[in-house]
Structure 1
C-alpha cells in the first residue's frame, strides 16, 4: 500500500490535492464507482481542491480490514497528481 496512507484511530486516511474543484470532484466520482463495485464506501471530506478519505469497515466494528486496504490500493491507482 502507498506510504501516503496513514493508519490511526482504527482507520486509514489520506489527503489528496488537486488543481481545482473540478479535478477533485472528478476524482471523487471515479472513487465512488470503484467503491460501489466493492460495496465498500469511504467517509470523505471535500473542500475546493482537497479530498480527505477515511476508510474503516463498519461491519467489522469500525476497524481497518483487508477491504479497506484493497480500496486504498485502488484509490491510489486513480490518483494522477
Structure 2
C-alpha cells in the first residue's frame, strides 16, 4: 500500500532475491520512461523502495505520481517471483 509521507508517495517491495528485485526495477524503468515520469528509488538486495513526487510541481504528489504508482502496483500484481 502506498503511503503519503512528506509530500511523497512511498512504498517498499520485497522479493525472493536480488535478481527478482532488479527485474522488477527494469520493468518499472520501462513504464516510467513511457510516462516520462522518473521515480526516486533505492535497492538493497531483495528490497526496492520508492518515493514518488513531481519535481515540476514543487516536489508534491500529483496525478502523475498516482498514475505511476498504479502502474507499479500492476507490475507487482503480475510479477513472476
TM-score strictly above 0.5: yes
Where does residue 16 of structure 1 map in the other structure?
13
Q: Does 1:29 align with 2:29?
A: no
SS at match of 2:64: helix
* TM-score relative to the length of structure 1: 0.94
Q: Does 1:71 align with 2:30?
A: no
* TM-score relative to the length of structure 2: 0.94
Question: What stretches of structure 1 move > 2 A for 4+ residues in a row?
Answer: none
Kindly report the root-mean-square deviation, in angstroms, between the aligned alpha carbons of the 2 structures.
0.8
| CA deviation after TM superposition for structure 1 residue 41, in Å | 0.3
Distance in 1 between the 2:17 and 2:5 partners?
28
Q: Per-residue displacement from partner, 1:16-72 (whole Å, max 9, x unpaired)?
A: 000000000000000000000000000000000000011000000000000000000
Task: Kindly tell me the number of residue pairs found equivalent between the two proteins.
Answer: 78
| CA deviation after TM superposition for structure 1 residue 15, in Å | 0.2
